[in-house]
Amino acid sequence: MPVRYDYDQGLQTIEIVCEGRLEIGEIRQYFIDVAEDSSIPGGAVEIVDLNGVTDFSLTSTDASDMPARYRRANRVKRIRATLLVGSTDANFGMGRMIQAYFHHVMPEHVFEVVRTRGEAEQRLTTLR
């Protein structure tokens, strides 16, 4: 499965790892799963690691559809922010495209793209 997640209670983060070929179906399923996961309390920050993705099988229509489908998970879990980590130009660029759609549809949601896990952790400290 190309999208896996785990809740880190100490950091209060949902750690998401995407690998291989990333398709919209897996992303949609993650949104459903996290909304229904009783082990995840409200108020977490998502950290999405895109570094293992080798093929973004997403169209611009898929990307534009993500924020609307994300709303339920966000509402149920009161997710404070989403941080995408993409160290390659391709992963970072795809993250920025997704970020643009989120900013358009959900301007109130903190959604940022960074190059390294270290940058994500630094940003995490300012979100607390």
pLDDT single digits (tens) 56-101:
998 889 988 999 999 989 999 999 999 999 999 999 999 999 999 9
10 Å CB burial of residue 112 (0-12, 13-18, 19+) is middle
Beta partners for 111?
Answer: 82
User: 95-128: per-residue pLDDT in tens?
Assistant: 999 999 999 999 999 999 999 999 999 999 999 7
Q: From the options 3.60.21.10, 3.40.50.300, 3.30.1360.170, 3.30.750.24, give the CATH code of 3-127.
A: 3.30.750.24
Q: What are phi and psi of 24, to 5 degrees?
A: -60, -30
Quote the distance between the C-alpha of residue 57 and its chain's center.
16
Task: Please give the Cα distance from 58 to 36 (Å, whole number).
Answer: 24
What are the structural domain ranges in the chain?
3-127
1 confidence band (pLDDT: 50, 70, 90): low
Contact 27/20 with Cβ under 8 angstroms? no
Q: What are phi and psi of 8, to 5 degrees?
A: -100, 105
